[in-house]
């Protein structure tokens, strides 16, 4: 185990979220400890972290199994090996019951399982529950009666006589009754109203820029957020750039809506589109971006549900000859003539599904967080703030300029001193970074700070929680295979740590 310096202050003076506008509060985060998962358990990663109040422990899912860490000391108290079931992708906890999402290790197109554990004894509770293909994320409903599983169902490329073809299972959400362990799996299919609004991937040759070997493709559930009352679940369909709305009472999808595109030519939405020009410079470019959020979180403001989204971006990729991402400036690319001379856009990775020949490029990701009403209407977007702050702090990775910038991925919300804070993990920076926003009013958001964590790299998952009057954020860092715990304080007339709503 590697411990951070006690009381190490990782905060800096907060930047203004808008010119001439001072944030209403200030945030301070101090790292309490850092735990290295290897070499203690060879092959163990740090990807998703959940907190258990009953045992005062953090549970960290990392492919091979789940490490259980003492919240106070940061020491590992147990390792739960799940290799007999497959590869663990996610963990969620509710009142002493942990649920693991586990994919089939031999064939990801086959059904996975959810396995339950008691957090005190750390013993398995009942038999594994079979769910859909590639369960990638799961969450409890607020009352703990159901577990919702996002079955991503990623296609698996297989060689055929006609070329590469993808076996594509149907993406779905499994609804598990926690007490009875019954399961109902609901597919994402064309019968859902709004399905045709999604980015759909038809068979080969039906779009002008499409590769000849293109395979049909279905939407992939990536993440699930549940409203406060447990009535609706909002399912992110990242590659398809949409959200499916699941009625938890009827256990049916009511609708799907598209998230649209972001205009990088507008002031405040600048990006750096080139990784080989020798400079890091945000500029307006004639490019659109697909929002394609990874993590989604729900909260309530004045009686209405809002969704916070970390707009990472992600291309469909079933193999080298069956992918939708390419560069117009790459060697042998037939579309290179459509990049204007001197535009500097030849290195930008774009979608060959959405980018019309001779028309604007459509890239992946929004380089931002956004907030939407439950019906999908956009009320806030952070523009270029995340990239700009990473540049200011010297942690922007210019080698990612041709892709998706800092790639906001993980997301956690925390209520503290009457405010709602959003903590956003950035996957592609030179050091691990967490951006903090005050989103109390979704129409009037303040950017507060960006916390840089030495020795950590690539935040994959976050969790935020209150314990004994103090507030914490834990980060799971997938490249460094480390987990770090931070204490959070909010200055609003003082650095009090135990005031809450």
Contact present, 243 and 222 (Cβ < 8 Å): no
pLDDT of residue 165: 55
The rounded distance, in Å, linking the Cα atoms of 499 and 501 is 7
Q: In the numeric block, which tokens belong to residue 24?
A: 């209403």
pLDDT in tens, the chain (501 residues): 333 333 333 333 333 345 456 788 999 999 999 999 988 788 899 999 999 999 999 999 999 999 999 999 999 999 999 999 999 999 999 999 999 999 999 999 999 999 999 999 999 999 999 999 999 999 999 999 999 999 999 887 666 555 555 577 899 999 999 999 999 999 999 999 999 999 876 544 444 444 444 455 689 999 999 999 999 999 999 999 999 999 999 999 999 999 999 999 999 999 999 998 899 999 999 999 999 999 999 999 999 999 999 999 998 765 544 556 666 554 444 444 455 555 678 788 888 778 766 667 899 999 999 999 999 999 999 999 999 999 999 999 999 999 999 999 999 999 999 999 999 999 999 999 999 999 999 999 999 999 999 999 999 999 999 999 999 999 999 999 999 999 999 987 655 555 554
287-290 vs 361-364, strand pairing mode: parallel
The 3 state secondary structure assigned to 261-279 is EEECCCCCCCECCCCCCCC
pTM of the prediction? 0.91
pLDDT of residue 3: 34
pLDDT of residue 9: 34
Which is it for the CA torsion 486, 490, 494, 497, positive or negative?
Answer: negative
Residue 234 has, within 13 A of its CA and on its CB side, a CA count of: 27
The rounded distance, in Å, linking the Cα atoms of 292 and 137 is 16
The rounded distance, in Å, linking the Cα atoms of 339 and 204 is 24
The rounded distance, in Å, linking the Cα atoms of 332 and 357 is 16
* DSSP track, 458-471: -EEEEEEEEETTEE
3-state secondary structure of 38: coil
The 3 state secondary structure assigned to 213-245 is CCCCECCCEEEEEECCCCCEEEEEECCCCEEEE
Name the DSSP letter for residue 323.
Answer: B
Q: In the numeric block, which tokens belong to residue 316?
A: 């469909």
Residue 185, C-beta contacts closer than 8 angstroms, at least 6 positions apart: 131, 132, 151, 172, 173, 174, 175
Q: In the numeric block, which tokens belong to residue 216?
A: 């049909």
Q: In the numeric block, which tokens belong to residue 178?
A: 């926690």
CA angle 77–5–434, rounded 5-degree value: 85
The rounded distance, in Å, linking the Cα atoms of 350 and 307 is 27
The residues with which 327 forms a beta bridge, in sequence order, are 349
The rounded distance, in Å, linking the Cα atoms of 50 and 62 is 12
pLDDT of residue 341: 53
Per-domain boundaries in the chain = 8-491
- Total Cβ atoms within 10 A of residue 150: 29
Q: Which fold has domain 8-491?
A: Methylamine Dehydrogenase; Chain H (2.130.10)
Q: In the numeric block, which tokens belong to residue 445?
A: 């958001």
Whole-angstrom CA distances from 286 to 211, 269, 271, 340 are 24, 11, 11, 11
* DSSP track, 366-380: -SEEEEEETTS-EEE
pLDDT of residue 337: 46
Whole-angstrom CA distances from 415 to 418, 452, 464, 499 are 7, 22, 9, 10
pLDDT of residue 317: 66
Contact present, 170 and 188 (Cβ < 8 Å): yes
The rounded distance, in Å, linking the Cα atoms of 358 and 364 is 18
Helix, strand, coil in percent for the chain, rounding step 5: 5, 45, 50
pLDDT of residue 319: 52
Contact present, 153 and 171 (Cβ < 8 Å): yes
Residue entry with tokens 């309490």: 32
The rounded distance, in Å, linking the Cα atoms of 351 and 200 is 12
């Amino acid at each position: 185990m590697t411990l951070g310096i006690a009381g190490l202050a990782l905060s800096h003076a907060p930047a203004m979220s808008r010119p001439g506008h001072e944030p209403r509060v200030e945030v301070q985060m101090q790292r309490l400890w850092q735990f290295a998962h290897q070499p203690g358990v060879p092959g163990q990663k740090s990807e998703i972290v959940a907190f258990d109040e009953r045992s005062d422990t953090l549970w960290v899912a990392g492919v091979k199994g789940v490490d259980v860490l003492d919240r106070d000391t940061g020491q590992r108290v147990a390792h739960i090996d799940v290799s007999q079931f497959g590869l663990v992708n996610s963990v969620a906890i509710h009142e002493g019951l942990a649920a693991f999402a586990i994919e089939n290790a031999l064939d990801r197109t086959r059904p996975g399982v959810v396995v339950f554990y008691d957090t005190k004894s750390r013993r398995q509770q009942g038999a594994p529950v079979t769910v859909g293909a590639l369960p990638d994320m799961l969450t409890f409903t607020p009352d703990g009666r159901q577990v919702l599983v996002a079955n991503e169902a990623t296609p698996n490329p297989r060689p055929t006589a006609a070329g590469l073809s993808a076996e594509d299972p149907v993406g779905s959400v499994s609804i598990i009754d926690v007490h009875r362990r019954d399961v109902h799996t609901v597919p994402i299919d064309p019968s859902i109203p709004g399905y045709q609004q999604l980015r759909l991937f038809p068979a080969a040759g039906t779009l002008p820029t499409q590769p000849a070997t293109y395979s049909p493709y279905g939407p992939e559930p990536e993440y699930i957020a549940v409203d406060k009352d447990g009535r609706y679940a909002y399912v992110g369909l990242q590659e398809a750039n949409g959200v499916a709305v699941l009625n938890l009472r009827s256990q049916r999808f009511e609708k799907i809506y598209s998230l649209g595109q972001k205009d990088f030519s507008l002031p405040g939405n600048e990006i750096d589109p080139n990784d080989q020009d020798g400079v890091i410079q945000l500029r307006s470019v004639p490019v659109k971006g697909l929002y394609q959020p990874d993590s989604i979180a729900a909260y309530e403001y004045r009686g209405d549900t809002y969704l916070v989204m970390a707009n990472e971006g992600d291309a469909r990729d079933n193999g080298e000859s069956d992918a939708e991402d390419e560069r117009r400036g790459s060697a042998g690319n037939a579309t290179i003539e459509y990049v204007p001379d001197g535009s500097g856009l030849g290195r930008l990775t774009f979608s060959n599904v959405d980018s019309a020949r001779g028309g604007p490029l459509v890239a992946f990701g929004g380089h931002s967080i956004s907030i939407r009403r439950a019906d999908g209407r956009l009320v806030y977007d952070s523009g270029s703030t995340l990239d700009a702050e990473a540049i200011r702090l010297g942690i922007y990775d210019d080698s990612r300029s041709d892709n998706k910038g800092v790639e906001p991925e993980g997301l956690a919300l925390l209520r503290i001193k009457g405010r709602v804070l959003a903590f956003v993990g950035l996957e592609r920076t030179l050091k691990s970074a967490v951006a903090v926003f005050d989103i109390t009013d979704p129409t009037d958001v303040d950017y507060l700070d960006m916390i840089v964590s030495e020795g950590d790299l690539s935040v994959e998952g976050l969790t935020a929680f209150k314990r004994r009057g103090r507030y914490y954020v834990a980060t799971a860092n997938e490249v460094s295979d480390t987990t770090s715990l931070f204490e959070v304080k909010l200055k609003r007339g003082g650095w009090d740590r135990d005031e809450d709503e």
